[in-house]
Amino acid sequence: MSDQKAQAATGGREMALRFQDGLVKYGFIVVTILLFVYFSATEETFRNPNTLFSMLKFTSVVAIAGLGITFTMVVGGLDLSVGAVAGLSVTLSAMTMVFYNQQGGVAIVVVLLAGALVGLFNAFLIVILKIPDLLATLGTMFIVMGLKLVPVSGQSVSSGMTLRDGSIAPGKFTSDFLLIDRANVGPVPFPVIVVLILTILTWFFLTRTKWGRMMYAIGANPEASRLAGVRVRFYHGLAYVICGVFASIGGLILSSRIGQGDISAGSSLLLDAVAVALVGTSVLGLGRPNAWGTALGALLIGIVITGLTIKGFPYYAQDIAKGVVLLVALIFSFTLSRRKTRYVSAT
């Protein structure tokens, strides 16, 4: 705040400052493009459109979870339970189809409901019991991770498995459900379409509608919002419900991709999704969580990881890359940016 007065005061070299602002605003996108060009130039495989699409496809889950987290970041929180929810969705969808021999449609409904339910639970902890977001969702994470394993006694669910009563599981992953991940629209994989739609919806909701504005408001200044008669608790909770639903959508794609109720699914999702959403806050120098930023963040990380893999780097190079990307993004929005970034904290 005052640093920034000082910074501004030291100004005068207008040119320099304008350049800096440009850097903050576009630097990130430029980096993304440069990387893309570099990889395409050096790796013929990378140029191949299939590569591009399967890359987008692989980042779709992270992107969707990231969008969910974006909502919670907008209201000044952070949902740590997205990974667990995605995992839950995988197990649940498998159970619905394999144990109870239901149609894919039913599985989808069940999963979305479950996601909303976990979101409601988070909302309850946060707005009713007044537990800070970060801590509440951490607790939820542990609980969901554990609970989902109870009905399947800790096992992955796969068709033809033997049930407790010794009978063979009647159902299997229905072909239509498997299409969620495997269908293409033209050359474009269906999950990518989903990401696109969800991003546009999120963007519209957050920037163009009353509800979105209220969410930004309670994130930035809950007290002022309350004094202005905003139903703070409602919107705060709503963000978590939406986040839960988004996470479960990501879970559906995962489930359809794996084709069985893999109990380990989703465990690596949380940190990536958080990273993506954080990177997103700095894209375009907006300095606040936003839909396109998150989507771009996912894309960028996808590019980096695919690029490195094709270039034959070992898997642990990817973690380093993730970290570096994240920090670069943060430097853009916090170190270089002269306006205070308004990503409000989680507790």
Partner 1 sequence: MTSQATIVMRDITMSFGANMVLRGVNLEINPAHVTALLGANGAGKSTLIKILSGVYTGNGGVIEIDGEPQTIDSPMTARRIGLQTVHQRIDDGVIPGLSIAENLLFEQIAQNEIGRVASLRSLLPKAREVADALHLDWSDSYLRKDVFEIGVADKQLLILARALARRPRLLILDEPTSALSQSEVDRLFSVINELRASGIPVLYVSHRLGEIDTLADRLVVLRDGQIRGEQDRPFDWTAALKDMLGEQTVVELESFEERHGTTTVLDLKGVQLFTRSAPFDLEIRSGEVTGVIGLLGSGKSELARGIFGADSFVGGTMTLAGAKYAPAGPSEAIRNDVYLVPEDRAQESMLPGWSIARTASLPFLKMIASRSVLNFGKEHALGIDLINEFSVVADGDEQEVDSLSGGNQQKVIVGRWLHGTPRVLLLDEPFRGVDIGARRDISRKTREVAGSGVGVVVLTSDIDEVLEVADRIIVLVDGEVRMDTYSSQTNRDQIVVRMSEVA
Partner 2 sequence: SQSTPADESSSAAAATSAAASAAASEAAPASSAAAAAMPAPFDAPPVKVALVQNSGAGDYFQQWTNGAKQQAATIGMELQVYDAQADNAKQATDMETAIGSGVSAIIVDHGQADTMCPLIVKATDAGIKVTVYDIEITECAPAAVETAQSDADLATLVLTQMATDIGQSVPVGYVNVLGIAPLDRRDVVWQQFVKDNKWEQLFFVGKFTNAVATDNAQLVDAALKANPTVKAIFAPYDELTKGTVSAIEQNNMQKDVSAYGIDISNADIEVMTKADSPWKATATTDPNAIGAGVVRAMALEMAGQLDTKEVVFPGVLVTQQFLVDNKITNMDELRAAMPELNLTNEVSADWIPPVTF
Binders of a second copy: how many residues, by CB under 8 A? Answer: 55
**1: helix, strand or coil:** coil
Q: Which of 140, 94, 74 is nearest to 264 (CA)?
A: 94
* Interface ranges with ligand ATP (CB under 6 A): 1, 5
**Burial (Cβ within 10 Å: 0-12, 13-18, ≥19) of residue 9:** exposed
**Widest Cα–Cα separation across the chain:** 79
Confirm or reject binding of residue 320 to a second copy (CB under 8 A): yes
Residues 6+ apart with CB under 8 A from 178: 256, 259
Task: Return the structure tokens found at 69.
Answer: 């987290």
| Residue with smaller CB distance to ligand ATP, 185 or 227 | 227
Q: How far apart are CA 283 and CA 74, in angstroms?
A: 15
Among 19, 38, 100, 142, binds a second copy (CB under 8 A): 142
Q: Which of 340, 265, 288 is nearest to 92 (CA)?
A: 265
Stretch that binds partner 2, among 32-40, 71-79, 159-167, 226-234 (CB under 8 A): 159-167
Confirm or reject binding of residue 258 to partner 2 (CB under 8 A): yes
Confirm or reject binding of residue 147 to a second copy (CB under 8 A): yes
Confirm or reject binding of residue 306 to partner 2 (CB under 8 A): yes
Confirm or reject binding of residue 135 to a second copy (CB under 8 A): yes
**186: helix, strand or coil:** coil
Q: Which of 220, 201, 197 is nearest to 209 (CA)?
A: 201
The option from ligand ATP, partner 2, partner 1, none interacting with 187 (CB < 5 to 8 A, set by class) reads none
Confirm or reject binding of residue 40 to partner 2 (CB under 8 A): no
Where would I find the H helices in 75-189?
82-94, 104-123, 133-147, 175-182
Confirm or reject binding of residue 213 to partner 2 (CB under 8 A): no
The option from partner 2, a second copy, ligand ATP, none interacting with 5 (CB < 5 to 8 A, set by class) reads ligand ATP
Stretch that binds partner 2, among 28-36, 196-204, 251-259, 338-346 (CB under 8 A): 251-259
Q: How far is the CB of 346 from partner 2 (least distance, A)?
A: 24
Stretch that binds partner 2, among 28-36, 74-82, 235-243, 259-267 (CB under 8 A): 259-267
Q: Is the CB of residue 236 less than 8 Å from the CB of residue 79?
A: no
Confirm or reject binding of residue 131 to a second copy (CB under 8 A): yes
Task: Return the structure tokens found at 189.
Answer: 């994989």
Would you tell me the crossing angle of helices 291-310 and 269-282 to the nearest 10 degrees?
120
Q: How far apart are CA 162 and CA 99, in angstroms?
A: 10
Q: Which of 257, 300, 251 is nearest to 275 (CA)?
A: 300
Beta bridge partners of 184: 189
Instruction: Write b or e for each residue in 269-282: b if 16 or more Cβ atoms lie within 10 A of its Cβ, otherwise e.
Output: bbebbbbbbbbbbb
Confirm or reject binding of residue 5 to a second copy (CB under 8 A): no
Among 21, 267, 341, 346, binds partner 2 (CB under 8 A): 267
Confirm or reject binding of residue 185 to partner 2 (CB under 8 A): no
Confirm or reject binding of residue 125 to a second copy (CB under 8 A): yes
Residues engaged in binding a second copy (CB under 8 A):
1-4, 125, 129-132, 134-136, 138-147, 149-150, 153-154, 222-223, 226, 271, 274-275, 278, 314-324, 326-327, 330-331, 334-335, 343-347
- Residues that bind partner 2 in the complex, under the rule CB under 8 A: 43, 45, 48, 50-51, 54-55, 57-58, 61, 153-156, 158-166, 168, 172-173, 178, 181-182, 254, 257-260, 262-268, 305-306, 309-310, 312, 314-316, 318
